[in-house]
Amino acid sequence: MHSLGTRPDQQTVIGTVADLAAKVAAAGFEPPAIVVVGDVVARRERLAWYERRPLLGRRILVTRAAEAALDLADRLERHGAEALIAPTIELGAPESSDIFDRALADVGSFDWIVFTSAHGVEIFLERLAARGGDVRDLWRARLAAIGPAPRRRSPGAACGSRSPRQSTGPKRSRRR
């Protein structure tokens, strides 16, 4: 008998007609459930691909911003997990851009610019363009990106090997 099929909390019980009811009661099955009868049950181990997913049965809380949570939740679910989305932050432009604009006015003097999120890269480039600037204003700065998403969206990635220089970034990010 198979309960809650193709869900992270699915269960399977194998038995005979004589002992199946007791096994189902002991396992605490909940509907929906199906009963498979016949020689096909002997092939279960070869056909149980879903149960071999590495995160099957795991419930994982995703606390990213809503915009980023859906992609991660989808990847987790493809590996068998039940992803619960609970955004703990909200992404957006700051209420006041004064401090940011003062920094951008002097961006040509920076030695380093470090991007820690793809959202930060987008806001940075939007504000730079709104002030009439572009990536050429970053000619002096070395760029660092923490993680693959900001690295893909950084000004250095957009310019290829030309300046501004994307100098560094970890090959893998470690989150604890």
pLDDT in tens, the chain (176 residues): 667 666 767 778 888 889 888 988 898 887 788 888 888 777 777 777 777 778 887 889 898 888 778 888 999 988 988 888 988 877 776 778 888 888 888 888 888 888 888 888 888 888 889 889 888 888 888 888 887 877 777 776 554 444 444 445 545 555 54
Give the pLDDT score at 163: 41
Rounded CA gap, 127 and 103, in Å?
11
Rounded CA gap, 61 and 86, in Å?
7
Give the pLDDT score at 161: 41
Contact between residue 33 and residue 3 where contact means Cβ atoms under 8 Å apart: yes
Q: Where are the alpha helices (DSSP H) in the chain?
A: 20-27, 44-47, 66-78, 98-105, 118-130, 148-153, 155-158
**Whether this model's pTM surpasses 0.75:** no
